Chain A
Amino acid sequence: MKSSLYRWGLVVVAFLVALYALTPTILDWSDGALDGKPASTDGVASMFLEVDPTTEQITWTNVQPLTLGLDLQGGLLLQYHVYVDRAVQDQLTRMAGGIEERLREVQPDVQVEATHPDGETYIDVTLGQADDRKLFTEEFMSNFPSLTRSDTGSTTLRLQMDPNYIEETKEMAITQAIEKIRLRIDALGVAEPSVTRQGLSDIVIQLPGIREENIERAKDLIGQTAQLRFQMVDDSGTNQFFGQFRGQLPAGFALRSIDGGYFSVTHQDKEALQEFFAGRVADDRAIGYQFHPVYQDREKKVLDEEQSYWKTYLVYREAELTGEYIQDARVAVDQQFNRPYVSLTFFPEGAKIFAETTTEYTGQRFAIMMDDEVNSAPVINEPITGGRAQITLGSMQSYTEVQQEAQNLVIVLRHGALPAPIERQFETIVGPTLGQDSIDSSMRALLVGSILVILFMLIYYRRSGVISTIALTLNLVLIMAGLASLGATLTLPGIAGIILTVGMAVDANVIIYERIREELVVNQKPVRVAVKEGFDKAFSAVLDANITTGIAALVLLQYGTGPIRGFAITLLIGIVSTLFTAVYVTRILFDDWMQRTKSEKLSI
């Protein structure tokens, strides 16, 4: 009896945990729609969610309610392929050009041809004279830190790109693309957009519940390529310009003094700032916006949303330089102060422009901008003429933060204006009505199917059928709870997966019951022995059957895309809960029944 209590304990715990995981879903469902907004936010619900008092935005704490997939609630699904190899190839082509021009700078009459065969990861250089090889000094090669030189002939040499650098370039192309798309989508204001990486070089974008008029805008925004620009900050005009708004700023706006005494107008919202400055800026000036994060917990990167703000810069509208002139950007570490910084290399033409600009504007700030956002605005300390520049970053931060910031800046600098090309692969728009129809019909199918199966089990196995019904119900609860706690979304194939699992759970019971019956009828065993042997002998069949299906599900999870993965995940959760309910729970129910009954007959 004691062991029975122990065994029941596990079932009760599993049930309670499942119930806890499902509570947000039940709350959300209480008004008939799985939309993340429950009918009431008081009482039990208040334990699971937080309501933002100003925006009435609901955030679920700890456990999330089950969400519906795009196919069920409607929305826009896009998949892009990022041509990462192209990013590498572009870089090599640009470097080949850079090598030629730089050599001519050193020795104007040099005969040189640097070519980059398509698809390869090296640059072949052919020189007019063998003697010219001495031009490839260590100092010269330091302009191209990612290339390794090897001589292939008296007048030819090959520069091989570092494999690590190739991988890095590819990774960056994707990270950058995802980052950029995410930023652009945020501007749309769609609830719960998701931008995720799939496989090596695909990006999946899901915009549930997007309004039809916004679809085109979303696609335009995503397809756009970012333009990186270097614009001078109007240092002398800044204080006068922003100062004129002193005392006239609406609530929420503030005039602050930043970056060594320059004025800046700040606000929590970039849009509010944009709206305020519209029409107030001279034609040849523009406003650059920069986000200033304030952390509640620096280590964990918890943003203090209340305190963080956007600040403004007054910049010249005309760009001095664009990202196209950048040949390479890398994170380097200053040996003397042990601080990371960003090292930039320009193409010769860019180097010339950059030298002129920095000579003219020494002591002033220039802003590195993407669209209208300022990435950073360092001061030009001295004229930079070597075609290489260093960008030092904020000095008040920790090493890792600076490292992180430098890394981000490098991503922007490298691919800001020249990202790897992306290709739209899929594009699916699901209208809300089709979604509603399919969820209704599949739910109805699930319900009717389950009822029919249960009816069959009750008629065929009578009292034992009741036991399997209990196990089956618990099984469904566990599957739903599993999905909810994994944060999975409920999709059509997912529902199909649940239906299949129900079938397999019933099968497990059938295998066991048939075996028990066989022991009773054919081998004439007493009831208790028959039950025990039935369970024991059927176990290996049930286990192997579920494992092999599990193998198929794992393969699907590995190779499948979007909806198929949903099916596989549901199947995997289903297999675990089926083994638990159909074997373990059913067994306990039978054992208890056997202990209580004196009858030598079994209702099976």
Chain B
Amino acid sequence: MKMLQIYPYDAQNDIIGKRKIAGIVSLVLMVASLVLLVTVGPKWGIDFRGGTELIIKVDPSVTDDEVREAAASIGLADATVQRYGSEDEGRFMVQTQEVSVVDEVKVAEIRTELEALGDLDAALWNEEQPDRMDLRFSQLKDIAQIEQAVMAAGLSRVTVEATGQEQEAFYTVRFQDLQNIIREGFASFFGDKFSASGGLERLETVGPRAGEQLRNSGLVSIIVALLAILIYIWFRFDIRYSPGAVGALIHDVTIALGLFVILQIEISLPIIAALLTIVGYSLNDTIVLFDRIREDLDRAGTKPLVQVVNEAMNETLSRTLITSLTTLLAVMMIAIIGTGLIQDFAVALIIGIIIGTYSSVFIASPLMIKMDGYLKERRKAQELIDKANAADGAAQ
């Protein structure tokens, strides 16, 4: 029977023998990743950090510097500008920490201006609703007067309205919100080069508190997923397999995160999804191998575990290679054809597939052998203790 073979079915290569070298390589990579994560730190996306991110499409003749200039003219001093997609697309991504027009410093300035009007009882503002400020005076004030005072603090486009009952000097000041200012700012800076080419394509604002919440829930989801998987494997296989499977996953996630730092991939919500996909994928590989080890062990007799594991590896290697290859084919296409977000997602997956395939062979199984050895040692020790105790008992 003729068939294409990627790896011979009856191969008996000593794969497990390389586990020492592989272990050292992995350890070095993991330590390096951890060092990178602690020193440089991951580049958190807007989802997790809070701030404003926008993608604009302008005439292809517009340069990075012009976009930067435009951002500065709007008042986004800390904005980072980078090209998004190829050069002839004319797309730029602009990111800033700002989420609202008014912040604490600005509020203090406004307050000073308002106090100059006299009779100010209270000027309330909080971060939860940064676009408004509530004022209470002890005397009725002219709305235009309040407006002027607020504008004197360097703000444009403010509306003031009376909100109290008759004869109550309650006023609400509303500031133009940041998204509007950005939208209109770019439109007026670039004119036709902006609106005719597509203009604002995406504008996203995430409050700082929301970012923190998301970061936590992302972390929780990864930890919970790992625990659930650990328990499932314990239940489906036995305790010997659990540390191997989870160890491989921790290995994958750490190195993947380290690579994200090097590749400057932003950790956003979809990247967390990609990380979990990596976890799922690597696990898939590990389980196929474990499944084979379990099957072979049933009829292994007195064969040493290391040898059984090596045989299982040889038996499953062609499948592992083919699957990695086909999945890589599909994901590569997304990385090449896809745009923006989905492209980052694909790159993350490619990294994950490579690490995941490697770890199921060189991390998961050796750990499983170690765990088996540890359990045997413990059992032996327990037997010795039991024997000693029994001897003691007999002596007495």
Contacts and interface: CB of A to CB of B under 8 A. Distances in A.
Interface of A: 79, 81, 83, 212, 215-216, 219, 223, 322, 421-431, 433-434, 437-438, 441-442, 444-446, 448-450, 452-453, 456-457, 459-460, 492-493, 495-496, 499-500, 502-504, 506-507, 510-511, 514-515, 517-518, 520-522, 537, 540-541, 544-545, 547-549, 551-556, 558-564, 567-568, 601-602, 604
Contact of A423 (B128, B200, B319, B341): B128
Contacts of B207: 81, 423-426
Main SS of chain A's interface residues?
helix
A413 B166 CA distance: 22
Given A428-B203, A429-B179, A564-B269, A517 B229 contact: no
Contacts of A547: 232
Contact of B55 (A322, A423, A434): A434
Contacts of B203: 427-429
Nearest to B6: A460
Closest 6 CB pairs of A and B: A425-B210, A449-B330, A559-B221, A434-B201, A449-B333, A549-B280
B52 to A, nearest CB: 9
A430 B200 CA distance: 8
B77 interface: no
Given A559-B221, A560-B221, A561-B217, A496 B319 contact: no
Contacts of B334: 442, 445-446, 449, 496, 499
B199 interface: yes
26 contacts: A83-B128, A212-B200, A425-B209, A427-B204, A431-B199, A444-B337, A445-B336, A448-B333, A453-B330, A459-B4, A460-B322, A510-B322, A514-B322, A521-B1, A545-B283, A545-B288, A548-B229, A548-B287, A549-B283, A553-B280, A554-B228, A556-B221, A556-B225, A561-B214, A563-B273, A602-B1
A541 B179 contact: no
Contacts of A510: 319, 322-323, 326
Given A507-B284, A548-B287, A429 B202 contact: yes
Contacts of B236: 544
A331 to B, nearest CB: 29
A426 B205 contact: yes
A548 B234 CA distance: 12
B245 to A, nearest CB: 8
A507 B323 contact: yes
Contact of A79 (B165, B210, B346): B210
Contact of A448 (B127, B316, B337): B337
A438 B277 contact: no
B308 to A, nearest CB: 16
B41 interface: no
B374 interface: no
A514 B319 contact: yes
Contact of B329 (A223, A437, A452): A452
Contact of A551 (B55, B183, B225): B225
Contacts of B151: none
Contacts of B221: 555-556, 558-560
Contact of B326 (A421, A503, A558): A503
A441 B128 contact: no
B202 A430 contact: yes
B326 A453 contact: yes
Contact of A445 (B129, B225, B270, B333): B333
Contacts of B340: 438
Q: Which has the most chain B C-beta neighbours within 10 Å: A428, A540, A551, A561? A: A551
B270 A559 contact: no
Contact of A552 (B183, B279, B292): B279
B284 A223 contact: no
Interface string B248-280: 000000000000000000000110110011011
B198 A541 contact: no
B180 interface: yes
Contact of A520 (B1, B6, B273, B336): B1
Nearest to B10: A522
B171 interface: no
